[in-house]
Amino acid sequence: MSSANDLPDGELAARTLEGQEAAFREILRRYREKILAVCLRMLRNRTEAEEAAQECFVKAYYHLSGFDRTRDLAAWLAAIAINECRDRLRQRTRTRGVFREISDAERDAVHSPRDENFERESRVRDIEEAVEKLPVKLKEVLILRAHADYSYEQIAAILKIEIGTVMSRLHRARAKLTEFLKRGD
């Protein structure tokens, strides 16, 4: 009998539905980090991202019977994660005024200009802030490609759009980022 880590995703899904816990643990092992990376980039809050990733796997477990085993499990899981993050971002905008975010001045006060990594950290922060300013449709494609390393085909399946639309949105996202960074937005 094959061990769970040797099985294709479709077989793991089937075995999970048969009640084999080891099969679902293998799905978690394979995709936990990738799903968490997507959630972290979308939500920019580790605790919330961990909760979203966990909720993604809970939803996947309870809806696994609806998964088409001939399709890409990684893309299906990422689609669930993206939808969970979208819901959380919508909820966040409804309650935005409740919590005060740290201002740039407060954040910069923590770092002395003498810090070796200050310039690099500042540049990373500028890029992260520019990504946050992107429209959601561009941001999702960029995160799935650049940070989670999904293929164009997988991104198209996750977001239920054409591959040409993926390429177009990715191009527009990169152009917008370059524009934001040049302007210093």
Q: How many Å apart are CA 133 and CA 1, to the nearest integer?
A: 51
Predicted pLDDT of residue 93: 73
- Give CA–CA dist 8/94, Å, rounded: 41
Regarding predicted confidence, which is higher, 185 or 56? 56
Q: Identify the architecture of domain 103-185 in CATH.
A: Orthogonal Bundle (1.10)
pLDDT tier, 185 (very low <50, low <70, confident <90, very high otherwise): low
Residue matched to tokens 């394979």: 30
Tokens of 137: 């449709």
Q: Is residue 69 a contact partner of residue 145, using CB atoms and an 8 Å limit?
A: no
Task: Give the pLDDT score at 115.
Answer: 55
Bigger pLDDT: 43 vs 119: 43
- The CATH architecture one would assign to domain 1-101 is Orthogonal Bundle (1.10)
In the chain, what are the domain boundaries? 1-101, 103-185
Is residue 150 within 8 Å of 74, Cβ to Cβ? yes
State the Cα–Cα distance between residues 125 and 131, nearest whole angstrom: 10
31 to each of 63, 136, 153, 171, 178, how far by Cα in Å?
17, 23, 18, 27, 31
DSSP 103: P
Q: What are the pLDDT digits (tens) for 94-116?
A: 655 433 344 444 445 444 455 55
- Residue 71: phi and psi, rounded to 5, are -95, 180
Question: Token pair of 111, please?
Answer: 């770092």
Which phi and psi (to 5°) does residue 85 adopt?
A: -65, -40
Share of the chain above pLDDT 70, in %: 84
